[in-house]
Chains A and B, each alone.
Chain A
Amino acid sequence: MTNRPSPPIAMLAELTHRCPLSCSYCSNPLELTDRTRELTTETWIDVLGQAASLGVLQLHLSGGEPASRRDLEVLVKAARDVGLYVNLITSGIGLTTARLDALEAAGLDHLQLSLQATTADKADWIGGYKGGFARKLVLAEEVRQRGIPLTVNAVMHRHTIDDVGAAIDFAATLGARRIEVACVQFYGWALANRDALLPSRIQVTQAKDTVAKARRAYAGRITIDFVPPDYYADYPKACMGGWGSTGINVTPDGTVLPCHAAATIPGLVFDRVTEKPLSAIWHDGSAFQAFRGHEWMQEPCRNCARRDQDHGGCRCQAMALAGDAAATDPVCRHAPSRPAIDEILAQQVAVSPSFVYRSNKREKTSSVNIAAR
């Protein structure tokens, strides 16, 4: 690469891995970072300033549950002070009225509320937290009354995708201007739980139909972003808009990643904000340089007409399913490893296995107590 990369537009700041929920599709790594290794308030404030100087416009405060950090309000204020657009990605658990007051005063721009399911039984089962849904509803109503700009993020998988219409109605009732109905992507915990989470082709087709109807019904009222599972696609997603091109992730201990799952690729060396300036990491860090441009590509990507459209798809998925991070994303119908995906789809089981809930010990499981498809 001789071209200097454009600055990143968005930063995902994973403030903590701590979370009251333990969803089986959590995007955090299987090895969770302990609280004692989390960055200090001062370091985060410095990182936010560096991010704005580098060109970041959008800050996504995430986790774990970012409200688990007591200094969340301080960080929101620091981010606004340097001009960042501050989006809080939350389950809503732990956000009291007093904390919402403080977040609004600090200048929070937008809140993204996760929705595990539209009924208490199912949501609490999926999140592994009894009473969580009731607490979420209280928070959601509070957010509605205050007029905090809201996106509902309804996570879709085998057990929730048939309720997509209800999820959209739910978001509309809350006054959300936007709903994301994104199917679980299979990395980390979700990959470990894939048999319990992957929807069937019929479910996906029906959901697309429901979303199309809802888009007509709610036109001008709520924007619906629907992301079907890529296993059923013919071409891969343009993951992260291209590696090291638009997004930058900082983990709870300050490790800087090109995407949240990048650490699953062996051989990549990641820099930390405690050791190097963010700008140097973005421009020259070896992990960021690894899959920029085209030189790393293999056939059929290298000479494919779509190579600048989908950038070869997802490197982490290539690693996970083809065993080679530089391979074509196995989702692509031209990928040599596409049969691996077809095999997974062909082997879907009639009864969902139990979830392996996210935990530090990786042993907590629970039997399926909702009628499985």
Chain B
Amino acid sequence: MTTDPVPLLPRGTRLHQDRVRDTWVLLVPERALLLDEIGTAILQEVDGRSSLAAISCRLAERYGAPEPDVASDVREFLDGLVGQRLVDYQ
């Protein structure tokens, strides 16, 4: 695996706008993960083409935050999902 992998939502994992609860959720096998604003922003950038660095760069720009901080948040959040096999790195 490269040091700057491209994250991908595998088949069976879907981002869903929950209009009843007014939030975004990640629908995965047998569970629904309620997402906060940061989690939603990160996963909306996961398109199967952008690397972690590219995603972090875009989010840092959008939120006016230091890129190293954003990169570390993105990495930690997605690593957690990869560990549960809910996101793939390629």
Contact = CB atoms under 8 A, between A and B. Distances in A.
Interface stretch (B7-15, B45-53, B58-66): B7-15
B29 A178 contact: yes
Q: In this complex, which of A53, A151, A178 has the most chain B Cβ atoms within 10 angstroms of its Cβ?
A: A178
B14 A109 contact: yes
Contacts of B57: none
B9 to A, nearest CB: 11
Given A57-B25, A57-B27, A85-B32, A149 B12 contact: yes
A58 B31 contact: yes
A85 B14 contact: yes
Contact of A85 (B11, B27, B83, B85): B27
Contacts of A110: 12, 29-30
Contact of A87 (B16, B20, B30): B30
B85 A220 contact: yes
Contact of A83 (B10, B16, B84): B16
Interface in A216-233: 219-223
Contacts, number: 60
A55 interface: yes
A237 to B, nearest CB: 16
Interface residues of B, number: 19
Interface in A80-99: 83, 85, 87
B12 A55 contact: no
B82 interface: yes
Interface in A1-37: 7, 9-10
Interface string A41-57: 00000000000011101
A220 B11 contact: no
B12 A58 contact: no
Nearest to A54: B20
Contacts of A87: 29-30
A223 B27 contact: no
Interface in A182-231: 219-223
A109 B27 contact: yes
A112 interface: yes
B16 A112 contact: no
B4 interface: no
B18 A57 contact: yes
A112 B30 CA distance: 9
Contacts of A85: 14, 16, 27, 32
Interface residues of A, number: 26
A219 B25 CA distance: 25
A177 interface: yes
Interface string B16-48: 101011000101011110000000000000000
A6 to B, nearest CB: 8
Contacts of A148: 11-12
Contacts of B27: 57-58, 85, 109
A62 B16 CA distance: 23
A147 interface: yes
B20 A55 contact: yes
Given A109-B27, A110-B29, A178-B29, A57 B82 contact: no
B12 to A, nearest CB: 3
Contacts of B16: 57, 83, 85
Nearest to B17: A83
A151 B84 CA distance: 13
Contacts of A58: 27, 30-32
Nearest to B82: A220
Q: Which of A109, A148, A221 has the most CB of B within 10 A?
A: A109
Given A85-B14, A223-B84, A223-B85, A7 B32 contact: no
Contact of B85 (A7, A109, A112, A178): A178
A222 B85 CA distance: 7
- 8 A-B pairs with the lowest CB-CB distances in the bound complex, closest first: A149-B12, A55-B20, A85-B27, A57-B32, A177-B85, A110-B29, A110-B12, A151-B29
Given A57-B25, A85-B16, A177-B29, 14 more contacts: A54-B20, A55-B21, A57-B32, A58-B31, A87-B30, A109-B27, A148-B12, A151-B29, A177-B10, A177-B85, A178-B30, A220-B85, A222-B85, A223-B85
5 contacts: A57-B25, A58-B30, A58-B32, A149-B10, A151-B29
